[in-house]
């Protein structure tokens, strides 16, 4: 008969074996990722997505994915430490919009890095893309049905379900689902059932995206998909960076030319011709950048206009909130990512990563003032593809190690 201490020891050993069992941790990670994506597409609020990020990050420590993420992507953690320290300096220096709570966004981003490392252990690229595409399609269909049922005028702008709470961020979520679907289509298996499913999902997503009447996200997607297709076959690091910068300049330039464009093509008060006010807000942004060029205003700074309180441009916003050194660091992060992406051997992930980053820069042409804040849908179309690509190089490293070990075993047997 076992004593109480021996039974406790046995239970502890058994629990430890279960915790380090990769199948156990992978199953929980896969379920948490599905819940995270479903919550982003279907549920308002941040409690459930944040909870799933924490769960996946903890599993990364248990499974060993966190240690490998630290070791194989050291440069990413250097940038993360820089932004944490930079924000702390802003708090100490008394910037008008800095607050100690701003560091929580970077803590959450660090947890998200670890969670994506764990997701790459648990799910294949095709599984990740399928989850994003299918749940995005479900959100699109549900949003259309609810819009029909609740809107007084079906021609009003559609607000997709989920974290977006607004047609523009919601359009960003629908766009990343379409990008995931396009990536799946690149390496599709023969069969009418798969093709029919993809076409059905694409129709739902396209209808919902068009219904949001969100001009910049729609145009950004129209530019991102063909550019990513071309770059996936022929482009290198420099070409990808030029595509990102070119799309950002295109969308930002159209925002600056809004009065001229509207005078030529707009007649009446249709939602497609609604005022964007970007030229006015960017003038205010320029003034704040000139006042705080190094440290920035801090991410909590807001303009005293209820209808336009933030910069509405990712590049201008990063410079205004964090200063030019932080903008340079963000640019370097994108440069490192572009280098890793062009080395990626997985074709569908390479396309998904390229299209997502190009779309993100187009989106930043008129929105996404703070890429590091946890709000709306940019965690899906910016940081998730970014991290999946980086963590997949880690997975490829593990595969190469496993292949080398298996080869050495074969040699021993010979």
Q: What is the pLDDT of residues 67-86, one digit of tens each?
A: 888 888 889 999 999 999 99
- Of residues 341 and 375, more confidently modeled: 341
Q: Which residues contact 40 (CB under 8 A, 6 or more apart)?
A: 49, 162, 163, 173, 377, 379, 380
Q: Is 280 a residue whose pLDDT tops 90?
A: no
Give 126-163 pLDDT, tens digit per residue: 999 999 999 999 999 999 999 888 876 767 888 888 87
Q: Can you give the pLDDT at residue 239?
A: 92
| The model's pTM | 0.86
Residue with tokens 């999946």: 388
What is the C-alpha to C-alpha distance for residues 264 and 381, in angstroms, rounded to an integer?
Answer: 32
Please state, in angstroms and rounded to a whole number, the distance separating the CA atoms of residues 225 and 221.
6
> Please, what is the average pLDDT of the chain?
83
> 172 and 363 in contact (C-beta within 8 Å)?
yes
Residue bearing the bigger pLDDT, 10 or 283:
283
Is pLDDT at 277 greater than 80 in this prediction?
no
- Say what the pLDDT of residue 33 is: 94
| Domain ranges (residues) in the chain | 18-390
* CB contact set of 357 (below 8 Å; sequence gap of 6+): 240, 244, 334, 337, 338, 341, 382, 385, 386
Q: In this predicted model, what pLDDT tens digit does every residue of 281-317 receive, in sequence order? A: 888 899 989 998 988 888 888 887 766 777 889 999 9
SS3 149: helix
- Find tokens 């990020």 and name the residue: 53
Q: Which has the higher per-residue pLDDT, 212 or 189?
A: 212
Tokens of 187: 């390496």
With both helix axes pointing from N to C terminus, report the angle between 47-63 and 4-20 in degrees, rounded to the nearest 10. Answer: 100
Q: How many CB atoms lie within 10 A of CB 243?
A: 23
In this prediction, residue 266 has a pLDDT band, given cuts at 50, 70 and 90, of: confident
């Amino acid at each position: 008969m076992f004593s109480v201490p021996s039974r406790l020891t046995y239970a502890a050993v058994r629990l430890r074996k279960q915790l380090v069992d990769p199948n156990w941790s992978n199953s929980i990670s896969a379920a948490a990722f599905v819940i995270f994506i479903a919550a982003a597409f279907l549920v308002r609020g941040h409690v459930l997505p944040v909870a799933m990020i924490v769960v996946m990050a903890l599993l990364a420590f248990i499974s060993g994915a966190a240690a490998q993420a630290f070791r194989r992507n050291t440069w990413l953690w250097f940038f993360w430490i820089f932004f944490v320290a930079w924000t702390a300096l802003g708090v100490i220096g008394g910037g008008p919009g800095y607050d100690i709570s701003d560091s929580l966004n970077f803590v959450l981003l660090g947890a998200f890095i670890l969670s994506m490392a764990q997701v790459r252990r648990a799910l294949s690229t095709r599984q990740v893309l399928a989850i994003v595409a299918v749940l995005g399609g479900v959100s699109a269909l549900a949003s259309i049905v609810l819009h029909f049922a609740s809107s007084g005028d079906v021609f009003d702008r559609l607000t997709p379900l989920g974290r977006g709470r607004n047609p523009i961020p919601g359009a960003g979520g629908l766009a990343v689902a379409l990008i995931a679907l396009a990536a799946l289509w690149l390496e599709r298996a023969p069969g009418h059932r798969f093709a029919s499913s993809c076409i059905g999902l694409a129709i739902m997503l396209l209808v919902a995206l068009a219904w949001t009447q969100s001009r910049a996200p729609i145009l950004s997607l129209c530019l991102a998909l063909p550019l990513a297709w071309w770059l996936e076959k022929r482009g290198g690091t420099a070409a990808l960076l030029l595509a990102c910068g070119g799309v950002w300049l295109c969308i930002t330039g159209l925002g600056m030319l809004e009065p001229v464009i509207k005078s030529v093509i707009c007649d009446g008060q249709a939602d497609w011709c609604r005022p964007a006010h970007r030229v006015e807000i960017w003038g205010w942004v320029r003034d704040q950048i000139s006042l705080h060029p190094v440290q920035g205003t801090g991410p909590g700074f807001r303009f005293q206009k209820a209808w336009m309180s933030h910069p509405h441009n990712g590049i201008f916003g990063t410079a205004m909130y964090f200063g030019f050194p932080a903008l340079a660091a963000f640019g370097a992060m994108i440069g490192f990512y572009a280098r890793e992406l062009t080395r990626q051997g997985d074709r569908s992930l390479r396309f998904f990563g390229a299209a997502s980053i190009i779309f993100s820069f187009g989106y930043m042409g008129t929105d996404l003032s703070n890429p590091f804040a946890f709000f709306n849908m940019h965690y899906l179309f910016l940081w998730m593809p970014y991290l999946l690509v980086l963590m997949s190089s880690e997975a490829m490293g593990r595969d190469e190690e496993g292949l080398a070990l298996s080869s050495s075993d074969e040699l021993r047997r010979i």
